[in-house]
Structure 1
């Protein structure tokens, strides 16, 4: 695991300052504290930070091919590199290290821009080809590793994190109003946007070729296709277990200590169970708990730890841990409203004291329909059969009158959230319950700096585009496709990468082995969601490996009691960041409307935690990056 960065100019006359590249690299020291590496040539300057995982003695970067005409810097892990290496050696290539990085260099030499499709792993890499002075950037299929770039008039600047690019004097720091609108709507900024108007994310499953004159070619090398097979449920279950087992096994490849995140949910429990089957020592497991009972899942994590006799460690997250807010926002680079950055960072920090690599259960919800949003949309199709006057004159007013409770979910909170989601356009389907700011609220919230935003269209266009691109006619599979392309890549993967890397920890996700993802796309949707029962086939497949309470329990989510903490421990911070004076100075938001949200939340009349936290995070980010 590493961090990469670099600058390419479009003319030999344009200079690249070595100090500039060095500053870019120092900004991502946390991604690779073990060593650094640099390459400078005509029109190019590249650098990397390395977290040593494989081939500790000879895996230094940058690495070249045999004659030094092709150079690579690489962030990630390639799990099929030994198989790929044997194939390339058979084609006449000669290797000088045992690292996975070198396999990519020779794969590019052999297959050119088609090489990313040969890789099974997580990656973001840059290859400089001296033969034609071109730069080739690529990112893994599911967006597990990040890659950003700025294309100016005379150069391209790239890196694993935004903070690296911002060390270059050539990269402007202008807020994108469109990206800010997307962030406040969904709590993340979807690719290719970033919060900065002039910087882009390289989308997952894409590569970018930059020629010597600055002309670029963005190419999608992978997409997910749904092709249901004719196997019976029992055959599909066994096939799923076998493939997941192999995905886990190849991710145990490491020359450093390794463990697993364990939340007590079905996904992380699956991973620990499959690790225990093939490891010759107890699995090291790490869990986070809460003092608030409805948020605490430690009893389930302990049940798995006991069942598989793991070497188990726990940490209780308390409100004072949110003193980390400014540090974590700094690591994120752009605003992310996901509350679970805190437990993700703290469990990563705890794990890093014992291991360098962890396996996680990320991806199971998107592959097998684990989110409540899928159930909500299923329920809505029944709810809309009610007469319109009952829905609008009785149910909706009743739901609005109910005061929110302090529980994580609970029937009242579920009713309020369900009814709130029904106000959004039906063509957004399950995504309606992933939206946190409606058009009428934007009209009251947005200030002068956002007056040009088209609040009626823009924020939902990318969702509709992904629905159109899904090649399945099945209702649920189209929803899974949308989440894999959006929420998974641009929220979950961003959170896990930044928070684990902040602790210099590598996180691996077996569910996101592209073979598992493609296999899941062959499973009929009726075996994923059955009524209100989520992940049906995964639970059936793992029934013999997990204790019954784990298999039977519903989805809880990796969240924190932020709505309660904003009323108490976090209240001073929120009031400072969202003070009328600061809001009026910045011009992004209407101070009077924000104060109304604060007052209603503190009084317990409404739960505005999502809106208030998103605004608070943006306010902190603005102070760090724009002042």
Structure 2
């Protein structure tokens, strides 16, 4: 795992040496083991190295082929690189290192961009073909690794993070107001946009070809397809799934450095840790974050799994004072996020890095095997919509809302039920989007009133969801929702959080549930194998792990990796929240209506509503603006 950067001068001139050094230096946390840069003609490539495979100097980058006509700066891991290397050696290629980076280089020589179809891994890279005077930048199928770019009349630049592009003169000075509206709705900024108007990101499964004169074209080389079930025998399906998951874990254990596993005590991370224990001779190192607030604390389940598999278990308690580092987290995230679990992942990665350099995680199972409550809510929503509108909207909904208590659970019951009640008048697919929203359309209009008629302010996020539902091509409603969450929500929210917070500590995280073979298999099995009835979520995974993990782990209610943001805000974190969201600091952003923000705070602290998600969203936005916009204004 590494940090990459590149700068192509479109007028044919040589890139400034100090600029590629600054771009690469901004990524030092992603690669503390070494750095390199190389300039050839109009392009300069930079690299920060986190050594995982072949720790020798032979693995340093940027790396070239035998005659120096093809150069690469590469971030990620190709898990089947050894098999590909044997094929390439038989074709006459010669290698100078034992890295997967060099395999990518020679695979391009052999097969061109079609080599991507042969890779099983997570990756993003930039490759310069000097014979063709062409730059090739790409991102892996599921979007585990990020790739940002800037394209102006004079330069094309790319990097693993937005920070790598900000040293370019004039870059990142203006906001994308449509992206801001999307952020307030979703709690993240969906690709290809970023909050920086001139900086974009490649979407998962895409590559970009850039000619020396600046002509550029984006290609989609992979897209998830849900098709009619190919396997209808449940017993055989469980066996196939088990074999695929076991192999996905096994191939991710190739490493020349110590490694371990995140372990929350949920079925996903427990399954990963179990299969690691079966593949390893020594005890698996497992890592868990716990909280003092009992309703958020799952450490007991994690300890039970760790004991069963004989793990070398490590645990750390995170308390409210841990939120003091939030400004630092915003810098690492480089775009605000309303997902408060970012802080928990940060501390989990910090603890893990004290012991190992690489870890496996259970991310991706919820979106591919139906682990969220929203999939169950879809069927309830169909029944709720059948109630006559006058009774549902004018009588039933107001009555239930009036009786709802305000709670401080992980995702509080009143928060979820209010979202559900207000979706009665829309289609079930639109409801799937509305249940995920932080601020609805009316609230966003009130919040962004200071921006007036700025272009993009009125951008409607529901249209993005509708486009992804259209792309899915799936027949069954559950498969349509799974496609949307795998292609849209997962790479823009969950994977961003894990990448930025782990790389803040130079920790590589691998994700077995997002092995593309496993994801494609799950897209071709009957929907009822994923959600069985209304109660059995992730049925296929739990069936595969029955008898391998304790029933108490498999049968317990999903908790999710959430932070006690609500309780913290009302206690130790309150002064920080009130200061950051003070009328003066909110007005200084020039983005938000300070009176509306104050009303949200007053409601929350008076116990009239659980606004913790909205407050966290605004908190990180103000901190982000101060760090990335206000401080850089010229």
TM-score, scaled to structure 2: 0.96
Give SS of 2:570's match. Answer: coil
1:447 to 422, 446, 449: 449
Change in CA separation of 1:165 and 1:396 when aligned onto 2, cut-off 3 Å = same
Q: Is structure 2 residue 166 aligned with structure 1 residue 142?
A: no
Secondary structure of 1:23's counterpart equals helix
- Structure 2 Cα separation of the partners of residues 166 and 414 of structure 1: 39
2:496 aligned residue: 494
- For 2:442 and 2:298, locate their aligned partners in 1 and report how far apart those are by CA, in whole Å: 37
Once the two structures are TM-superposed, the CA of residue 6 in structure 1 deviates from its matched residue by 1.3
Contact 1:422–1:432 at 8 Å: present in 2 too? Answer: no
CA distance in 2, matches of 1:230, 1:250: 25
Q: How many angstroms does 1:403 deviate by? A: 3.2
In 2, the alpha carbon distance for the partners of 1:289 and 1:553 equals 18
CA distance, structure 2, for counterparts of residue 230 and residue 16 of structure 1: 54
Q: Does structure 1 residue 415 correspond to structure 2 residue 417? A: yes
Q: What is aligned with 1:305?
A: 306
Maintained 8 Å contact 2:126/2:135:
yes
2-side partners of 1:413 and 1:578: how far apart?
Answer: 22
CA distance in 2, matches of 1:189, 1:393: 34
Mapped contact 1:447–1:587 kept (Cα < 8 A) = no
Q: What's the counterpart of residue 112 of structure 2?
A: 112
Match in the other structure for 1:578: 581
SS in 1 for 2:59: coil
CA distance in 1, matches of 2:487, 2:464: 10
The 5 Å alignment of 1:607-618 reads 607-618=610-621
Q: In structure 1, list runs of 5 or more residues that go unmatched.
A: none
Is contact 1:330–1:624 with CA below 8 Å preserved after alignment?
A: yes
Distance 1:457 1:617, change over 3 A: closer
Shift in CA distance, 115/80, structure 1 to aligned 2, threshold 3 Å: same
Matches within 5 A, 1:56-71: 56-57=55-56, 58-71=58-71
* Structure 2 counterpart SS, 1:38: strand
Tell me, in whole angstroms, the C-alpha distance in 2 between the residues paired with 1:412 and 1:169.
48
Computed over aligned residues only, the root mean square deviation of the Cα atoms, in angstroms, reads: 1.5
How many angstroms does 1:365 deviate by?
A: 0.3
Correspondence list, 1:88-99, <5 A: 88-99=88-99
User: What is the alpha-carbon distance in structure 2 between the residues aligned to residue 414 and residue 175 of structure 1?
Assistant: 32
* Structure 2, unaligned runs of 5 or more: none
Q: Whole-Å Cα distance in 1 between the matches of residues 19 and 297 of structure 2?
A: 46
Deviation at 1:439, TM superposition (A): 1.6
Matches for 1:209-608 after TM superposition, within 5 Å: 209-227=209-227, 228-401=229-402, 402-409=404-411, 411-422=413-424, 426-449=428-451, 451-452=453-454, 458-530=460-532, 531-608=534-611
| Alpha-carbon distance change, 174 to 262 in structure 1, aligned in 2, over 3 angstroms | same
Question: Does the aligned pair in 2 maintain the 1:4–1:25 contact within 8 Å?
Answer: yes
- Tell me the TM-score normalised to structure 1 length: 0.97
Deviation for aligned residue 1:83: 0.6
CA drift of 1:459 comes to 1.8
Q: Residue deviations 1:257-314, cap 9 Å, x none?
A: 0100000111001101111111101100000111111111111111101111100000
**For the structure 1 residues 424 and 388, does the alpha-carbon distance in structure 2 shift closer, same or farther, using more than 3 Å as the test?**
closer
Aligned partner of 1:191 in structure 2 is 191
Structure 1 residue 115 displacement after superposition: 1.9
Cα distance in structure 2, aligned partners of 1:452 and 1:330? 26
Q: Are residues 425 and 439 of structure 1, via their aligned partners in 2, closer, same or farther at CA, if it must alter by over 3 Å? A: farther
Structure 2: distance between partners of 1:525 and 1:325: 40
Shift of 1:424: 5.6
Name the count of aligned residue pairs: 626
Change (3 A) 1:588 1:457: closer
> Hey, what's the Cα distance between the residues in 2 that align with 1:47 and 1:490?
25
User: Do the aligned residues in 1 keep the contact of 2:24 with 2:48 (CA within 8 Å)?
Assistant: yes
Change (3 A) 1:21 1:454: closer
Greater shift after overlay, 423-432 or 274-283? 423-432
